[in-house]
Amino acid sequence: MSNQIFINYDEVYSKTAALRRRAVDELREANTAYRQIASSLRRMDGSTNAEIEDAMQANQQMSQTTVDTLTKLLSFIELSARQVERGEQTMARAFRSVSIRNQRRGRVI
């Protein structure tokens, strides 16, 4: 069993971007459906329709909040991956530098 973790950063960035786009697209489609249903309900009479419309508006707001939260989480994942990637690059440069200096001095690590 290996104690190493391998991260494909390009895949992380690609997947998080795709998931953000999909969440926004899904929300856009849901909002369109909400508007269509609300429009139909407005043409009808009755207090039940008003209650349904209120419930739909509440669900629409919850959907928006969910997508906003998901988008923030995906951004956090992407930014965290970028920080780890930069850290790995910095460490790799430092190890290469030490290795080159030791090779010039005739030392083997």
Q: What is the pLDDT of residues 47-67, one digit of tens each?
A: 778 888 889 899 999 999 999
Q: How confident is the model at residue 101 (pLDDT cuts 50, 70, 90)?
A: confident
Verdict on whether the full-model pTM lies above 0.75: no
20's tokens? 């953000």
Torsion of CA 78, 83, 87, 89, to 10 degrees: 50
Rounded to whole angstroms, the Cα distance separating 45 from 55 reads 16
Helix residue ranges, H only, 1-109: 9-42, 47-104
pLDDT at 89 (0 to 100): 92
- The pair of three-digit structure tokens given for residue 76, joined into one six-digit string: 């956090």
Are 17 and 2 a contacting pair, CB within 8 Å? no
* Alpha-carbon distances, residue 99 vs 24, 88, 107 (angstroms): 48, 16, 9
